[in-house]
Structure 1
């Protein structure tokens, strides 16, 4: 991250249809709705939520990661009602001036361009305001929609990392994608 950029306060971004904002404890029911859907957690390193407390835990974890400078995760909310439908963000690698990107979206909002819109906004923020040199993403091999999204955004595949991820009690092959600063 560019040493000249201070993210001491959480940056709120706005697109044509979305607010990208910090998650708060009041968002826990919406976060729970997203992560209690097995279609959403199928390719995620979190188990499907069964208790509202799990949503509070995710919000608290993301808030702490921002406060200590390890990453940033925006809640994604349509402008018409400002209710969270997903999130997206970065985990920083400050030495390499890079970040890993992550995201999820409630299944009711899939294939409507919301995640494309959100990721375009945070990528522009990351490259222009934070001085990122490149952004990486690692995707489970069966997550075709995520791969298509990354390719649409200009990411290029670097190939498959064998047994690179471990969650839900097993190792996973992951395809790595990279987007370099223009």
Structure 2
């Protein structure tokens, strides 16, 4: 039986290249870099317009953690503490041993394996310390980079929500639901 995570101390996750740590109020300007980028946010939320929005998001993420509803990590490189991504668990249902994972990464760090490495750290933490049996991810079906990331880590497509989200140009995109079970995780 795993030692279950109890929210008393924020867990820092590390790999050879990355450190995933708690979001701090001083991180707002760095978070704003990718949360204001329309390319990064194309399949996510509307791009932020002011650093104050990033500060408010960090405050909300910290409240969710304090309320034991979610956990979000800022992704940093081992040799630089400035965040380049935000990865986390939301929709945690401890009684059902499942949670949803979400992520975004600064565009100048795409294609370097950082998202794969960070998501792998989250999955290991989720299965080992949160006692998850299932991790879900929801993405726009046309977001090929996100789909490849999920499939690379063993997620399987469970379903499709037709015409799920509206693009700025007036077209609708299908939403894909992916799942990974504990026994499927490498």
Q: Hey, what does 2:121 align to over in structure 1?
A: 121
**Shift of residue 96 of structure 1?**
1.3
Change (3 A) 1:107 1:95: same
Q: Partners in 2 of 1:57 and 1:142 — Cα distance?
A: 29
Q: Structure 2 CA distance, aligned partners of 1:71 and 1:15?
A: 22
Distance 1:164 1:24, change over 3 A: same
Distance 1:67 1:3, change over 3 A: farther
- What is the distance in 2 between the residues matched to 1:80 and 1:33? 19
Q: What's the Cα RMSD here? A: 2.0
* CA distance in 2 between partners of 1:9 and 1:163 (Å): 41
* CA distance 1:142–1:79, shift in 2 (3 Å): same
Distance 1:167 1:154 in 2: 28
**TM-score normalized by structure 1?**
0.92
TM-aligned CA deviation for residue 106 of structure 1: 0.3
C-alpha distance 180-166 of structure 1, shift in aligned 2 (>3 A): farther
In 1, Cα distance between the equivalents of 2:171 and 2:29?
Answer: 29
Aligned to 1:134: 134
Distance 1:52 1:126 in 2: 31
**Offset at residue 30 of structure 1 (A):** 0.3
User: SS of 2:95's equivalent?
Assistant: coil
- Runs of 5+ consecutive residues of structure 1 not aligned to the other structure: none
Structure 1 position 170, deviation (Å): 8.9
Within a 5 Å distance, the mapping from 1:1-182 to structure 2 comes to 4-44=4-44, 46-91=45-90, 92-164=92-164, 172-182=173-183
